[in-house]
Amino acid sequence: MALALAQEMAKKVPGLAVATLVILLLLFVILTTVNNMSPVFSGLFTLTFMVFLIILIMSLRSKEHPGEIEEASILNELTTSGRFNDDEARGRGLQVFSFASSMSATEDFSVENKLGQGGLGKLPEGKEIAVKRLLRSSGQGLQKFKNELVLIAGLQHMNLVRLLGCCVKGDEKMLVYEFMPNKSLDFYIFFIAGRERSPLLVGMLVFIYLGLLSICCLILIRKKRLQEDREKEPTLDELMISDRKKGYHDLKLFSFASIMAATDDFSIQNKLGQGGFGPVYKGKLPDGKEMAVKRLLRSSGQGLQEFKNELVLIAKVQHLNLIRLLGYCVNGDEKMLVYEYMPNKSLDFHLFDPTRRKLLDWKMRSKIIKGIAQGLLYLHKYSRVRIIHRDLKPGNILLDDEMNPKISDFGMARVFGQNEAQATTVRVVGTYGYMAPEYIMKGNFSEKSDVYSFGVLLLEIVSGHKIIHSFCSEECPMSLSDRAWDLWKEGRSTELIDPALADHCTRPEIARCIHVCLLCLQENTVDRPTMSEVVPMISNENLLPLPDPKMPAFSLCRHKLKEANSSPRKRECYSLNEASISDMEPR
């Protein structure tokens, strides 16, 4: 208690402590010359002198290390908070390791486990970790510790090291990372023979470039948000949250009562739409933040599986062009997913309405196309788990207040291993017109299945027509992809462009997009490009000539011509009905 009082006085009145100490010293010299000074008085005087001496020392120490006491208290709070949480990660917290577990994992920081300025360890469940231990004498290290804790917690990318947690106990401060068995880049640069080094260097430089590019994008996005409202800039204290009940991947568990209050008891006025999963409602939290609540139909057996699937998958991904899952609610038979609210609804709401479509100029459509491509590329290549969406369509592309696209509805998505190229299912789910031929016919799906769906989406955005739209011709009825194919062969692909796009200066760019969409719609998967190839094609990063596409899959004219010799039929024009399918058996 005396020490705490001294510490507080040292911060507030260091000058007074010095002055008092000098006066006491002079009094002590004078009084020691008096022979009849009592022992009690002498003892009290000595005690007072020592207290002010401690105050002076602590005052000088706080001046030498400004903010050290404050920093220490902030970091000590971390040991009792249970979790560290970045505000932008929405509950994806870091584990706080005990000092005892860190000691045990690294065998008391043995020399054998030293990787460099850090240490190797193994958790009780066998998972290997890398422990970076802060030097006690390093003032700069303390600041780096805080910076690393705040920044890395908000980043998720295949080419960025993953921060698993931290440990704070007294002067001991440690960061716990995933273990990298192949060491660091300098090991290979300086120790591997020159001939073997070249291909490694090329690959490493590519990964470094992609990692740095991702970091720059994240920093620019965060900087833009903070500049809009500097007063809302999060502090380290705000990023520390207390213990609370955790659920799937640390997503927030909303109470049923809070959901009912936010949606006005699921009022009709707040209903945004209806899907195979169930109805979607708009809600508002007490702090004014808006959200979208997807409510599972109690009678939907398929919806229950989609609920679990979406809950697990979306919690693992984090990207500007993917919808953000804020949390969930489970209360008996009631199951709900809570998302960030998208004020501009879905892409089909604007694209297929004659009036609203006119507001979508090419600049806006181009931004939407590129955003969808970036989100899909992240799922296929850069997410920590490779994900095949399997239900990409305009209704599942949501638009925020700045018309930035966000891929949503991961109920049908599937996780792929890093070396897995294709999977097969007997339960085909999706929407007619957007599903790839190999998926419908054989139940095979892969990254190329999503590429096919992206091609359909691209064609719809450029033309303003649904894929099921049919055109009349003298030979046979034509689908939208047939029409695009015929016009491209004749060098007239720009005739497919939506009349609402009146800017003639963009026609070469739009014509290139039509070419790319035809490459995506090819029947054989090997002929289709990957999203890694599609992104530079539509971003004007690669202006090299594009390869010639082959006839699109599901061509109405192709099947019509095959039947012409056996049973001549009267030409007729018809439309296909759009239908969503939840379960079908592949042939």
Report pLDDT digits (tens) over 232-290.
433 222 322 333 334 455 678 999 999 999 999 999 999 998 876 789 999 999 999 99
Q: Is pLDDT at 348 greater than 80 in this prediction? A: yes
Look at residue 66 in the predicted model and tell me its pLDDT.
Answer: 47
Active site residue 391: yes
Look at residue 392 in the predicted model and tell me its pLDDT.
Answer: 95
3-state DSSP of 226-275: HHHCHHHCCCCCCCEECCCCCCHHHCEECCHHHHHHHCCCCCHHHEEEEC
Burial 198-236 (b: 16+ CB within 10 A, else e): eeeeeeeeeeeebbeebeeebeeeeeeeeeeeeeeeeeb
Percent of the chain's residues with pLDDT above 70: 58
Q: Is pLDDT at 393 greater than 80 in this prediction? A: yes
What's the pLDDT band for 195 if we cut at 50, 70, 90? low
Strands 94-96 and 163-169: parallel
**Vertex 260 angle, CA 258 and 262, to 5°:** 65
364 within 8 A of 403, measured Cβ to Cβ: yes
Q: What is the mean pLDDT of residues 438-459?
A: 94
Q: What is the mean pLDDT of residues 450-475?
A: 84
Fold of the domain spanning 245-340: Phosphorylase Kinase; domain 1 (3.30.200)
* Choice between 556 and 458, residue whose per-residue pLDDT is larger: 458
For residue 68, give Cα distances in angstroms to 107, 175, 329. 30, 19, 42
222 within 8 A of 216, measured Cβ to Cβ: no
Percent of the chain's residues with pLDDT above 90: 32
Report pLDDT digits (tens) over 548-565.
999 998 765 555 544 444
Could you state, in order of their start, the residue ranges of all structural domains in the chain?
2-64, 72-228, 245-340, 347-581
Look at residue 587 in the predicted model and tell me its pLDDT.
Answer: 45
Q: Is pLDDT at 569 greater than 60 in this prediction? A: no
The 8-class DSSP code of residue 545 comes to P
Report pLDDT digits (tens) over 28-48.
666 555 555 566 556 666 666
Q: Which two tokens stand for residue 320?
A: 């500007």
Helix ranges (DSSP H) in 32-95: 39-64, 68-81
Q: What is the mean pLDDT of residues 576-584?
A: 47
pTM comes to 0.60
Q: Is pLDDT at 17 greater than 60 in this prediction? A: no
Q: What is the largest CA-CA distance in the chain?
A: 134
What dotted CATH number matches 347-581?
1.10.510.10
Look at residue 291 in the predicted model and tell me its pLDDT.
Answer: 96
Report pLDDT digits (tens) over 85-123.
444 334 445 677 777 777 777 777 776 777 665 555 555
Q: What is the mean pLDDT of residues 473-496?
A: 83
Q: What is the mean pLDDT of residues 333-339?
A: 89
Q: Which two tokens stand for residue 470?
A: 């049919």
Among residues 250, 265, 361, 391, the one annotated as catalytic is 391
CATH architecture of the domain with residue range 72-228:
2-Layer Sandwich (3.30)
Report pLDDT digits (tens) over 131-164.
877 776 655 566 666 666 767 766 667 778 877 7
Q: Is pLDDT at 517 greater than 80 in this prediction? A: yes
245-340 and 72-228 share a CATH fold:
yes
Look at residue 556 in the predicted model and tell me its pLDDT.
Answer: 55
C-alpha span between 61 and 67 (Å, rounded): 11
